[in-house]
Amino acid sequence: MTTFLYGANVHANGIRQHYLRYGGTDGARAQRDAVIIVPGITSPAITWGFVGERFGRHFDTYVLDVRGRGLSEASDSLDYSLDAQAADVLAFAQALGLKRYSIVGHSMGGRIGVRAARTKPAGLTRLVMVDPPVSGPGRREYPSKLPWYVDSMALARKGCDLEAMRAFCPTWTDEQLRLRAEWLHTCDERAIITSFNAFHTDDVHVDMPAVDVPCMLMVAERGDVIREEDIAEIKTLIADVQVTHVRDAGHMIPWDNEEGFYQAFGDFLGASLT
What is the per-residue pLDDT for 149?
98
pLDDT digits (tens, 9 = 90+) for 5-44: 999 999 999 999 999 999 999 999 999 999 999 999 999 9
Q: Tell me the average confidence (pLDDT) per consecutive run of 10 residues in the chain, 274 residues long.
A: 97 98 95 98 98 98 98 97 98 98 98 98 98 97 97 98 96 95 98 98 98 98 95 96 97 97 98 97
From CA 217, how far away is CA 245, in angstroms rounded?
9
Cβ neighbours of residue 185 under 8 Å, at least 6 residues apart?
A: 153, 156, 157, 159
pLDDT digits (tens, 9 = 90+) for 146-158: 999 999 999 999 9
Residue 106, beta-bridge partner list: 130
Q: What is the pTM of this model?
A: 0.98
SS3 content of the chain, % helix, strand, coil (to 5): 40, 20, 40
What is the per-residue pLDDT for 240?
87
Cα-flanking dihedrals φ and ψ of residue 91, to 5°?
A: -70, -35
The strands making up 4-12's β-sheet, listed across from edge to edge, are 4-12, 15-22, 61-64, 34-38, 101-106, 124-130, 215-220, 241-246
What is the per-residue pLDDT for 239?
87
From CA 155, how far away is CA 167, in angstroms rounded?
11
Helices H / strands E in the chain, number of each: 10, 8
From CA 221, how far away is CA 114, in angstroms rounded?
22
Asked if residue 48 lies in contact with residue 5, where contact means CB atoms within 8 angstroms, the answer is: no
From CA 75, how far away is CA 37, in angstroms rounded?
23
From CA 108, how far away is CA 134, in angstroms rounded?
10
What is the per-residue pLDDT for 85?
98
